[in-house]
Homo-oligomer: A and B are copies of this chain.
């Protein structure tokens, strides 16, 4: 049975760290760990949807033209083709659970 631990963390001064939890032919699930001021720059994937879920800290999320701050227990959908990105405005560390389906090529 393939079990993953969502309490693992890895932060680095160089930038956002991605920890893969599961990957199949159909989706991936990652943890993203961001120190204050680190970000995933806005980008888009045609034909793949992404979800960001805030586990700890605060996330400044952009989807399309909209920007919003989310906290723990909040999740946001970035539909395929829409530019999306996330930044940690601080002061805490930010950990996100991220799902994407299908896996972008």
Chain B residues closer than 8 Å to A77, beta-carbon distance: 2, 4, 22, 24
Q: A24-B49, A101-B102 are in contact. Are A66 and B6 (CB under 8 A)?
A: no
A29 close to B (CB within 8 Å): yes
Q: Is the CB of B26 within 8 A of A76?
A: no
Q: Interface residue count for A (Cβ, 8 Å)? A: 34
Q: A99-B99, A102-B101 are in contact. Are A26 and B49 (CB under 8 A)?
A: yes
Chain B residues closer than 8 Å to A11, beta-carbon distance: none
**Which chain A residues (23-51) contact chain B, with CB distance < 8 Å?**
24, 26-27, 29, 48-49, 51
Q: Would you give the 0/1 interface string for A71-94, flagging 1 where the beta carbon is closer than 8 Å to chain B?
A: 001111101100000000000000
